[in-house]
């Protein structure tokens, strides 16, 4: 009898986005004339940069010619891309990496979901709360979660609150943890972490032989100095941290799919008997056995991000979205609502006014001014009473949404 992985049965439905869709649909049916503006989903809307388009076309032509056709490539990615990643994303920040410490992949969702596979089941997982749900769900599926309590927390996971009360700075938990998911600039709160605070986590990991899984998918949105772009800017991090990067948000690759993981050779995991094992070797084995590389065409597209033109074009993309972020941030604040994020990230996290819960605010925003956002509670129990807006819409839609919000929305 084929037995299923019963951990899957513990997962509640993908409640958040399906519930949003259901409520929006119901509203549209009742109000077919409504002009709904979506500031909810973290998807980009601007086309791929010209440099990327040109490189994609060239790569397609290479695939048409027997002399330049590419079949299976190295699972870890082509050297031409690996070299550029190190040269542009790390060397300028004083971080040296070897080419076999980078693994090109098809997205940070896949990477952050898959990485836990190389770890044992009896690790204590720490997540910030609110959090990107994939870190949690992938560990539930693997069997590291325990059961879901009435408080919305999994009994075997350690939740690290990041709220207005603690300035969204994750504090070292009293309980000992082994694998720590951190994401900065943060999804969903849009907040960042200082080097001083991040160093506390690196030091904790070193002392406790823990590993930090650092999601830096929104790194390109950092505007302020002294905010770390990579965890490897922190001394000692190369011994304890894995970093996830993506082309989704800097270069608009959400539908084009390319990302990478940095796995320094110094990072060690341990056997039950305490023997250190290189995480790089384990991940390499996983990556080569369960994945077969990113399309050559797509890797050539990603390479173009690192040309002079490509760098200018992704800078312009980020500036475009960050102008939206500023507009949203200032518009929301002008109503006397507490607002966070939106300075070094495309996400604006607002505290719902008058103690309203996240879903009540969602309904009010939808019905009064036809704006769709994301209820904070969908990202974890400590997201209750918060709400996420994103800067990935068009300038025109964002302007109109903020006009409605500031002039028509009643709080």
Contact (Cβ atoms closer than 8 angstroms) between residue 115 and residue 129: no
Q: Which stretch binds a second copy (CB under 8 A): 193-201, 295-303, 306-314, 357-365?
A: 295-303
In terms of phi and psi (left: phi > 0; alpha: psi -120 to 50; beta: otherwise), the region of 342 is left
Say whether 85 sits in a helix, a strand or coil: helix
Out of 298, 328, 389, 402, name the contact with a second copy by CB under 8 A.
298
How many residues of this chain bind a second copy (CB under 8 A)? 83
Helix (H) or strand (E) holding 125: strand 125-129
Out of 53, 148, 169, 333, name the contact with a second copy by CB under 8 A.
53
123 near a second copy, rule: CB under 8 A = yes
Contact (Cβ atoms closer than 8 angstroms) between residue 248 and residue 217: yes
Nearest Cα to 228, choosing from 219, 236, 240, 237?
Answer: 219
312 near a second copy, rule: CB under 8 A = no
406 near a second copy, rule: CB under 8 A = no
Nearest Cα to 286, choosing from 275, 277, 274?
Answer: 277
250 near a second copy, rule: CB under 8 A = no
| DSSP string covering 242-291 | EEEEESTTTS-GGGT--EEEE--TT-EEE-TT--EEEHHHHHHHHHHHH-
Instruction: Please state the separation of Cα 344 from the chain's center in Å.
Output: 14
In the complex, least distance from residue 72 CB atom to a second copy, rounded to whole angstroms: 5
In the complex, least distance from residue 102 CB atom to a second copy, rounded to whole angstroms: 19
Q: Which stretch binds a second copy (CB under 8 A): 214-222, 224-232, 252-260, 402-410?
A: 252-260
- Chain positions 207 to 226 lying near a second copy, rule: CB under 8 A, are 208-211
173 near a second copy, rule: CB under 8 A = no
Nearest Cα to 115, choosing from 58, 185, 184, 181?
Answer: 181
Nearer to a second copy, 268 or 333 (CB): 268
**What's the rounded Cα separation, in Å, for the pair 306 and 312?**
9
- Chain positions 177 to 206 lying near a second copy, rule: CB under 8 A, are 178-179
E runs forming strands in 171-255 = 179-183, 211-215, 241-246
114 near a second copy, rule: CB under 8 A = yes
Q: Annotated binding site: which residue ranges?
A: 15, 42, 72, 108-109, 132, 187, 218, 246-248, 257, 292, 388
120 near a second copy, rule: CB under 8 A = yes
Q: Which stretch binds a second copy (CB under 8 A): 43-51, 151-159, 228-236, 308-316?
A: 43-51
Q: Annotated binding site for pyridoxal 5'-phosphate: which residue ranges?
A: 72, 108-109, 132, 187, 218, 246-248, 257, 292
277 near a second copy, rule: CB under 8 A = yes
- Chain positions 366 to 405 lying near a second copy, rule: CB under 8 A, are 394
134 near a second copy, rule: CB under 8 A = yes
Sign of CA dihedral 319, 320, 324, 330: positive
Say whether 38 sits in a helix, a strand or coil: strand
Out of 73, 152, 173, 353, name the contact with a second copy by CB under 8 A.
73
**What's the rounded Cα separation, in Å, for the pair 163 and 129?**
8
Contact (Cβ atoms closer than 8 angstroms) between residue 258 and residue 302: yes
285 near a second copy, rule: CB under 8 A = yes
Out of 32, 92, 94, 274, name the contact with a second copy by CB under 8 A.
274
Cis omega (within 30 of 0) for bond into 185: yes
307 near a second copy, rule: CB under 8 A = no
Per-position x/- string for 344-373, each x denoting binding to a second copy as judged by CB under 8 A, each - no binding: ------------------------------
Nearer to a second copy, 185 or 301 (CB): 301
Nearest Cα to 331, choosing from 359, 374, 362, 369?
Answer: 369
Nearest Cα to 119, choosing from 289, 286, 292?
Answer: 286
Out of 4, 30, 33, 396, name the contact with a second copy by CB under 8 A.
4
113 near a second copy, rule: CB under 8 A = yes
295 near a second copy, rule: CB under 8 A = yes
146 near a second copy, rule: CB under 8 A = no
Nearer to a second copy, 238 or 257 (CB): 257
**What's the rounded Cα separation, in Å, for the pair 339 and 110?**
31
Out of 34, 63, 172, 333, name the contact with a second copy by CB under 8 A.
63
Helix (H) or strand (E) holding 196: helix 195-208
- Chain positions 23 to 42 lying near a second copy, rule: CB under 8 A, are 41
Nearest Cα to 228, choosing from 237, 207, 63?
Answer: 237
Contact (Cβ atoms closer than 8 angstroms) between residue 271 and residue 27: no
Out of 22, 25, 31, 50, name the contact with a second copy by CB under 8 A.
50
Nearest Cα to 180, choosing from 247, 112, 114, 238?
Answer: 112
């Amino acid at each position: 009898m084929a037995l299923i992985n019963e951990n899957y049965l513990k997962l509640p439905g993908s409640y958040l986005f399906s519930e949003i869709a259901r409520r929006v649909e119901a509203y549209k049916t009742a109000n077919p004339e409504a002009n709904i503006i979506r500031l909810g989903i973290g998807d980009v809307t601007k086309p791929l940069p010209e440099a990327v388009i040109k490189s994609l076309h060239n790569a397609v032509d290479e695939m048409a010619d027997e002399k330049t056709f590419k079949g299976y490539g190295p699972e870890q990615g082509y050297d031409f891309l690996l070299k550029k990643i190190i040269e542009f994303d790390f060397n300028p920040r004083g971080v040296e990496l070897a080419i076999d410490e980078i693994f090109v992949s098809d997205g940070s969702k896949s990477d952050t979901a898959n990485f836990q596979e190389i770890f044992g089941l009896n690790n204590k997982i720490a997540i910030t709360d609110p959090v990107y749900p994939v870190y949690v769900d992938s560990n539930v599926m693997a069997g590291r979660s325990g059961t879901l309590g009435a408080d919305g927390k999994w009994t075997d996971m350690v939740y690290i609150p990041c709220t207005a009360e603690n300035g969204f700075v994750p504090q070292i938990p009293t309980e000992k943890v082994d694998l720590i998911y951190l994401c900065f600039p943060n999804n969903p709160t849009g907040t960042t972490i200082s080097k001083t605070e991040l160093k506390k986590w690196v030091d904790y990991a070193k002392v406790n032989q823990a590993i930090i899984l650092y999601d830096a998918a929104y790194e390109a949105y950092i505007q302020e100095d002294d905010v770390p772009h990579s965890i490897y800017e922190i001394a000692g991090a190369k011994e304890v941290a894995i970093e996830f990067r993506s082309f989704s948000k800097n270069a608009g690759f959400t539908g084009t799919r390319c990302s990478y993981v940095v796995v320094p050779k110094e990072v060690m995991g341990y056997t039950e008997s305490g023997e250190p094992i290189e995480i790089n070797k384990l991940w390499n084995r996983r990556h080569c056995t369960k994945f077969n590389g990113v399309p050559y065409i797509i890797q050539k597209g990603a390479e173009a991000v690192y040309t002079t033109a490509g760098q200018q074009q992704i800078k312009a993309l980020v500036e475009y979205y960050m102008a939206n972020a500023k507009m949203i941030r200032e518009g929301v604040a002008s109503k006397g609502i507490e607002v966070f994020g939106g300075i070094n990230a495309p996400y604006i996290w607002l505290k719902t006014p008058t103690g309203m819960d996240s879903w009540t605010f969602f309904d009010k925003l939808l019905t009064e001014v036809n704006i769709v956002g994301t209820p904070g509670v969908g990202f974890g129990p400590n997201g209750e009473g918060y709400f996420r807006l994103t800067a990935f819409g068009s300038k025109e839609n964002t302007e109109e949404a903020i006009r409605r919000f500031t002039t028509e929305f009643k709080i």
